[in-house]
A and B are shown apart, each in its own frame.
Chain A
Amino acid sequence: MVLLVDKFVRVLHERSMKALANAAPTSRSKPTMAQVQGVLKNMKKQGFEGDLLVTNDYPAVP
């Protein structure tokens, strides 16, 4: 049963990743990882010292 759940979680995750990768090229407004890293760099320059970044979006493939 545990292995069945494990299989499901992996399959669902893989499908989600694939769906995101397929959708990313058509979504021009999506932030890229480079943009996120740029913003993070600027935050650090201004004194941000946190060790966790929470977004309300999934960055597109760079």
Chain B
Amino acid sequence: MNPILEQLYPDKTVVARRRQAGFPPLSGTLDAFTAYVHDDMRACYLNGCDPAAIVTACVLIDFALKDAIHFDAFVKAEQKFNAKQWDQIDGFDFSTSINSARARGVVNKDECKQLHWLRKEVRNVYPHGQTPDWIKNKSEDIWEGNLDTGDVQRRTVSVRDNIVLQRQIRIVADRNV
């Protein structure tokens, strides 16, 4: 559990809820590396270490998708490993991986859309220290106080205009990983 998150948005039951919902490890996996990274993501999630779970998930989906693309090529090529082809797949950026997976039928149209959403809103921004537009475009109702006069007022502010709000919303968003 992250003490800063717990102080700002206490939720003593989040770990218990996540564990109760069930999150089994991968079984009988073809790719040991995918299973290994998946298990780390799972451990972070089940222990309330949300930023670590998100970053690990970003890495995992990249590896898993490339593995699935390669496996599709491997099976179609009479199950012969082609190092040159693998090098090519291994060098794909995430967008190319998603489009390649779609072209090969490894993922369907809806899954392709979800993966591009994941790429744009999480994978391309979070590990690079960027704040996604869906956070900046939000509006929040806040109480604003004037330290000189003591006056307070409630008003709606654009999150884009307030970096502290952007950071706070990120913490809440992380909790809802």
Binding site secondary structure of chain B = helix
**B68 part of interface (Cβ distance < 8 Å):** yes
**B142 part of interface (Cβ distance < 8 Å):** no
Contact A57-B68, Cβ < 8 Å, known A5-B118, A6-B23, A13-B34: no
Size of interface on B: residues with Cβ below 8 Å to A: 34
**A39 part of interface (Cβ distance < 8 Å):** no
In the assembled complex, the CB of B135 is this many whole angstroms from the nearest CB of chain A, namely 14
- Please name all residues of chain A whose beta carbon is closer than 8 Å to the beta carbon of B78 when the two chains form the complex: 27
Interface size class of A (residues with CB under 8 A): 20 to 34
Show 26 residue pairs from A and B whose CB-CB distance is below 8 angstroms, ordered by the A residue.
A1-B54, A1-B57, A1-B118, A1-B122, A1-B177, A2-B45, A5-B41, A5-B64, A6-B23, A6-B38, A8-B64, A9-B26, A9-B64, A10-B26, A12-B65, A12-B106, A13-B30, A16-B68, A16-B71, A19-B71, A19-B72, A19-B75, A20-B30, A20-B75, A30-B79, A58-B74
Residues on B facing A (Cβ under 8 Å): 23, 26, 28-30, 34, 38, 41-42, 45, 53-54, 57, 60-61, 64-65, 67-68, 71-72, 74-75, 78-79, 81, 106-107, 111, 114-115, 118, 122, 177
